[in-house]
Amino acid sequence: MANGAFDIYQTDAGYAAVTNPVQRQILEALREGEKQLPDLVVLTGRSKPTLSSLHMRELLSRELIVEAAHPTDSRRKVYRLKGAKIGSSDLPVDQLRDAVQHYVTLSPLANRVPVAAAFEALGAAPDTVPMDVLYAQASRLGALAAPLFKAGTPRDLWMRLSAFLEAERLATPLRIDLQNGALELRLGPSARSPPARMAAILAGFAQGVATGKSLGIKGIRGTATPEGVKLWSA
């Protein structure tokens, strides 16, 4: 599997981005049917202890799979897929773009985009990916999510954006300057990338929303701060 690739799964807890290649292999195999641990050892080339204590434990905790007793031998376990795959990409946003478009237009999921999962996937891109590429990809995602924002003015954008990021547990607003168009944020538990990368992703997302809403904002930039991230209208 390509370096930096990811899959997006829908789970009972929300959306999950899977970037680990071993875990992606496991989930793909389980999409074909239930498997036992020895089957997965052969498939992945990893040892039983590594699979059991690391990969299977994480997939179980993220509610992507379920574990059950073997029907004829209680000493053995079988694993089944619990989450539903909704998209994947070798380069962030390529297939995610289509998945987001699909889910934005569907009911009852029309009021929710898997933004936190998408940001996690973007942030998992290799360190060699330039910041401007992350910005552009996040901007495209923001443009797709724009219909979810009731923002008719730049002032509305900053208020709606801060509330949205807080609801997604991506960031908590510290200061909002509505007059000059600036937002200072403390990164939340769903923001799993370094502040500099999150600044580029959040700024790109905000610009995409502004463009999608035709708010006339020519450029939103972001930078890491000692407290988290600052976004502003350039």
pTM value surpassing 0.85: no
Select from 146, 172, 182 the least CA-distant residue to 228: 172
CA angle 119, 156, 137 (to 5 degrees): 25
Number of H helices, E strands in the chain: 9, 10
User: Does 97 have pLDDT greater than 70?
Assistant: no
By DSSP bridging, strand 65-69 and strand 171-177 are: unpaired
What pLDDT, in 10s, does the model give residues 193-220? 889 999 999 999 999 999 999 999 989 9
Quickly state the pLDDT bin for 231 (edges 50, 70, 90): very high
Select from 72, 3, 64 the least CA-distant residue to 31: 64
In angstroms, what CA-CA distances link 142 with 37, 101, 103, 114, 185? 40, 11, 14, 12, 18
User: In the CATH scheme, what is the code of domain 6-85?
Assistant: 1.10.10.10
The residues of the chain that CATH labels 1.10.10.10 are 6-85
> In angstroms, rounded to a whole number, what is the distance separating the alpha carbons of residues 3 and 124?
10
Cβ neighbours of residue 87 under 8 Å, at least 6 residues apart? 7, 8, 95, 96, 98, 99, 100
Q: How many CA atoms lie within 13 A of 184 on its CB side?
A: 9
What pLDDT, in 10s, does the model give residues 29-86? 999 999 999 999 999 999 999 999 999 999 999 899 999 998 888 788 999 999 888 7
User: Does 88 have pLDDT greater than 70?
Assistant: no
Look-up of token digits 């070798």: 90
By DSSP bridging, strand 182-187 and strand 171-177 are: antiparallel
**pLDDT score, position 106:** 46
